[in-house]
C-alpha cells in the first residue's frame, strides 16, 4: 500500500444505473470536505455524462487509473466489477463495489454506506479478500483469457445439442451431451451456475464447479473438483462453430473440435470487504433466507376474480 502522501483512490461509474448521480455527488462532496491526505480521480471511459455530473473530480484515462490508484471504487453493479476485474487483470488493484444494480453478490456496499466503508478502508478497518480466477487457454490459437465468475461453452444458437468431452487431470470425467457447459469459480457459483442447478460455494473454498446445462441424461449432475485441477475440454457439434462466454460476455466463436485448457490463474481479483459483514450475511439478505413467506402483507397479490358460470 502506498504512503499517505501519495495515496490515490480511483472511481469508476456505470452511467446507465439509476441514482448514480446521487451516489457520485455524495462521494464527491465527502472528497471536498475530507482532511485526509488522499486524492481521488475519476475514470469516465470517455462518458460526457459523468464529466457533466461532477466536473470537479480530476478525470484520468484507464491507463492512468491503473497506474496511480491503490484502490478503485465502482458505482454500478456486479457487471461493473466484472468488467473492471478484466481491465485490472494481473495488477490486482483492490475494488470496493457499490451496488446500484440488482442482486449484487460482488458489490455488497450500498449507496448510503459509501462514505462509511471508504473511511473504514482508509483507516485500515477493512480487509482485502482474494477471489480465484479461471485461466482458459485455447489450444493452437495462441489465445488466453481469464474469468472471475465462469466460462461457458455454448452451442452458438444451433438447435442441436453439442458433445463436450471433459477431462480432469488427464482423467475422463464425461462426454456431456448438453446445450452447454459451465465451469465456475466459487465466486461464480451464485451466478449462472446457480440458475442451472449448481451448488452455492463459499468464496474461500478452493474448488471449481463443472455444471452441464440441460444435459440429455438424468444422471449428469454438477461436479465439484479441487482448484488445483487442470480441465481439458473439447467441443464437437454438427454446426461449424461454438461460442465461448466469460463472465456473461462473449469472448469469441471457435471452430467445432476446438480444445481448451482451464486452470487457476496465478493472480487474484481483490475485493474490499468490511469486517462487520460476511458472505453468510449476503446469502441471507440477497436470497431472503429465514423470511416467512406466509406473511400475507409482504407476499399478497391481487388476482382478478373469476366470473361465475
Contact 100, 19 (CB under 8 A): yes
DSSP letter at 260?
E
Contact 208, 224 (CB under 8 A): yes
Sign of CA dihedral 98, 101, 106, 112: positive
The answer to whether residue 170 is catalytic is no
Residue among 266, 37, 39, 226 nearest 137 (CA): 266
Helical H runs in 246-278?
none
Q: Which residues of 135-171 are buried (b: 16+ CB within 10 A; e: fewer)?
A: bbbbeeeeeebbbbbbbbbbbbebeebbebebbbeee
Cell of 125: 478497518
Rounded Cα gap, residues 231 and 225, in angstroms: 10
Given the residues 5, 6, 78, 169, the one annotated as active site = 78
Cell of 4: 499517505
Instruction: Specify binding-site residues for NAD(+).
Output: 78-79, 83, 149-150, 160, 179, 190-195
Contacts of 176 (CB under 8 A, 6+ apart): 163, 164, 166, 212, 215, 220
Helical H runs in the chain?
20-33, 48-53, 62-68, 78-88, 114-122, 192-195, 279-287
Active site residues: 78
Amino acid at each position: 500500500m502506498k504512503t499517505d502522501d501519495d495515496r490515490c483512490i480511483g472511481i469508476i461509474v456505470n452511467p446507465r444505473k439509476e441514482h448514480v448521480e446521487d451516489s457520485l455527488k455524495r462521494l464527491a462532496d465527502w472528497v471536498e470536505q475530507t482532511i485526509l491526505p488522499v486524492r481521488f480521480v475519476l475514470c469516465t471511459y470517455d462518458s460526457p455524462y459523468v464529466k457533466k455530473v461532477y466536473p470537479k473530480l480530476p478525470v484520468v484515462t484507464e491507463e492512468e487509473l491503473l497506474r496511480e490508484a491503490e484502490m478503485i471504487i465502482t458505482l454500478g453493479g456486479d457487471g461493473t466489477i466484472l468488467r473492471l476485474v478484466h481491465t485490472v487483470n494481473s495488477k490486482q488493484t483492490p475494488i470496493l463495489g457499490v451496488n446500484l444494480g440488482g442482486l449484487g453478490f460482488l458489490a455488497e456496499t450500498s449507496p448510503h454506506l459509501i462514505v462509511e466503508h471508504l473511511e473504514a478502508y482508509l483507516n485500515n478497518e477493512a480487509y482485502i479478500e482474494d477471489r480465484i480466477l479461471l485461466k482458459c487457454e485455447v489450444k493452437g490459437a495462441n489465445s488466453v483469457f481469464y474469468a472471475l465468475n465462469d466460462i461457458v461453452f455454448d452451442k452458438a444458437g444451433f438447435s442441436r445439442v453439442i458433445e463436450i468431452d471433459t477431462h480432469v487431470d488427464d482423467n475422463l470425467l464425461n462426454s456431456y451431451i448438453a446445450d452447454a457447459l459451465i465451469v465456475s469459480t466459487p465466486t461464480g457459483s451464485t451466478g449462472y451456475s446457480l440458475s442451472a442447478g449448481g451448488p452455492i460455494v463459499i468464496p474461500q473454498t478452493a474448488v471449481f464447479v463443472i455444471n452441464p446445462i440441460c444435459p440429455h441424461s438424468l444422471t449428469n449432475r454438477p461436479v465439484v473438483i479441487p482448484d488445483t485441477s487442470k480441465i481439458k475440454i473439447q467441443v464437437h457439434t454438427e454446426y461449424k462453430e461454438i461460442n465461448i462466454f466469460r463472465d456473461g460476455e462473449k469472448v469469441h466463436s471457435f471452430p467445432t473440435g476446438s480444445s481448451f485448457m482451464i486452470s487457476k490463474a496465478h493472480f487474484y481479483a481483490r475485493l474490499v470487504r468490511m469486517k462487520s459483514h460476511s458472505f453468510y450475511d449476503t446469502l441471507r439478505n440477497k436470497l431472503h433466507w429465514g423470511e416467512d413467506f406466509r406473511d400475507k402483507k409482504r407476499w399478497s397479490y391481487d388476482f382478478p376474480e373469476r366470473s361465475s358460470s
